[in-house]
């Protein structure tokens, strides 16, 4: 688990990119939604949610008057069902308490108890020692 987390690892939709399996890859990790497109999967480069926020001049979707919009609600449904994670709640926490406090709390939530690596949200596996959670 890194000591300092890049705040650009919090995606417009409310996803913590630090715990994304694509970011945690050993070779060619994704730099996160708000960083450059190098090593990003095509679906992330062309993400409608990220692009919508960018087109509106916003960083995060919670800054939009339409939040949560249909696109966010659809993604929310998927993440709630598949990963037991609420992107809307993440966004509200960042809006209310700030990104630094949110990411500090996320560090505690996603740290591997065996080796202090990062647990992937998507596959519930430590990126370092491969322990399943």
In the chain, the percentage of residues whose pLDDT exceeds 90 is 77
Residue 60 included in any domain: yes
Q: What is the pLDDT of residue 6?
A: 82
- Domain count for the chain, please give it: 1
Q: What is the pLDDT of residue 50?
A: 94
pLDDT digits (tens, 9 = 90+) for 3-48: 677 888 999 999 999 999 999 988 888 999 999 888 888 999 999 9
Residue 123 included in any domain: no
Residue 132 included in any domain: no
- Would you place residue 114 in the very low, low, confident or very high pLDDT band (cuts 50, 70, 90)? very high
Residue 125 included in any domain: no
In the chain, the percentage of residues whose pLDDT exceeds 70 is 98
Residue 46 included in any domain: yes
In the chain, the N- to C-terminal Cα span, in Å, equals: 16
What's the pTM?
Answer: 0.88
- Would you place residue 2 in the very low, low, confident or very high pLDDT band (cuts 50, 70, 90)? low
Question: What is the average pLDDT value for the chain, to the nearest integer?
Answer: 93
DSSP line for the chain: --SS--GGGB-TTS-BGGG-TTTT-SSS----TTS-STT--HHHHT-HHHHHHHHTT-SSGGGSTT-S-HHHHHHHHHHHHHHS--HHHHHHHHHHH-HHHHHHHHHHHTB-TTTS-BBPTTT-BBTTT--B-
Residue 116 included in any domain: no
Residue 56 included in any domain: yes
Stronger pLDDT, 4 or 124, i.e. the higher one: 124
- Would you place residue 101 in the very low, low, confident or very high pLDDT band (cuts 50, 70, 90)? very high
Residue 71 included in any domain: yes
Structural domain range at position 89: 8-109
Q: What is the pLDDT of residue 25?
A: 87
């Amino acid at each position: 688990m890194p000591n300092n987390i890049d705040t650009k690892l919090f995606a417009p939709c409310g996803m913590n990119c630090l715990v994304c399996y694509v970011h945690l890859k050993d070779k060619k990790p994704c730099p996160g939604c708000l960083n450059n497109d190098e090593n990003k999967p095509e679906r992330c480069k062309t993400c409608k949610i990220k692009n919508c926020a960018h087109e509106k001049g916003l960083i995060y979707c919670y800054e939009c008057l339409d939040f949560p919009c249909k696109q966010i609600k659809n993604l929310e449904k998927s993440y709630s069902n598949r990963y037991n994670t609420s992107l809307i709640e993440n966004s509200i926490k960042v809006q209310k308490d700030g990104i630094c406090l949110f990411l500090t709390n996320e560090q505690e939530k996603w740290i591997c108890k065996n080796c202090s690596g990062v647990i992937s949200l998507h596959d519930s596996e430590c990126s370092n020692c491969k322990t399943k959670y």
